[in-house]
Amino acid sequence: MTDHIRQLEKKRYLQIGKNLGVSLDEVLDAVSIISSLEPKPDRFYNDEETIYIIPDVYVYKVGDEFLIVLNDDGLPKLRVSAFYTQALAKKDDLSMATREYIRDKLKSASWLVKGIQQRQRTIYKVTESIVRFQKDFFESGPVHLKPMVLRDVAEDIQMHESTVSRVMNNKYMYSPFGIFELKHFLNTGIQSVDGIDKVASLSVKERINALCQRMGYFASLYEDNALY
């Protein structure tokens, strides 16, 4: 069967039997055994569910600029039905209590729609601020991450730190270098040797990681050359 995978996929059992010089029953018996096999043998030993991350915002580089696009796919398309405003316009058809009830619900619905729109605008502002602070990251990669704290973003977009923190919580961004949680860009600074500049702690980790990978690469080359 190893030489007839294409025919097996297309269920050309008679052709397989003819090529192998065996009966159709023998081919069907082999197909039954193959069908019972597990293509991923380790599946039974791993009960972890794969969680796929859908970014809340996308950042693309277009020419020399960065384009920010919000992901609205998961948001409901909310609107207030005109039926209720039209019902309020008919003065003689509704009682006073009914009118007050409809007005109250319309206010709540309007507040909800505006709240969702405000949330999206805030996510956009936060992302815009991150791109502005971390331009070197978006230009050249993770090792160029700069020190940035929540206060920097809050002051930049003129919002309270708690509001910014709630907006950034469990939100993800697609960037030219992969998908990152928004709070990934918040990190403390480490004083440089000269004591003048600060380097982002995550940037230092990335540099150490890259250095270790290079050392491992050169070590493997040395071992290979030592065999000769």
222 pLDDT exceeds 50? yes
Task: Note the pLDDT of residue 215.
Answer: 63
**Domain spans of the chain?**
5-45, 57-187, 189-228
State pLDDT tens for residues 172-221.
Answer: 999 998 999 998 888 875 555 555 555 555 555 666 666 676 666 555 55
Name the residue type at position 177.
F
Run of H or E including 60? strand 57-62
Residue-wise pLDDT for 85-140, tens only, equals 777 777 667 777 887 888 888 888 888 888 888 888 999 999 999 999 999 889 88
pTM above 0.85, yes or no: no
Max CA separation in the chain (angstroms): 100
* Residue 227 reports pLDDT greater than 50: no
Distance CA 110, CA 103 (A): 10
Q: What are the start-end ranges of the H helices in 39-196? A: 82-89, 96-133, 135-140, 150-157, 161-168
Q: Could you tell me if 180 and 173 are in contact, meaning their C-beta atoms sit under 8 angstroms apart?
A: yes
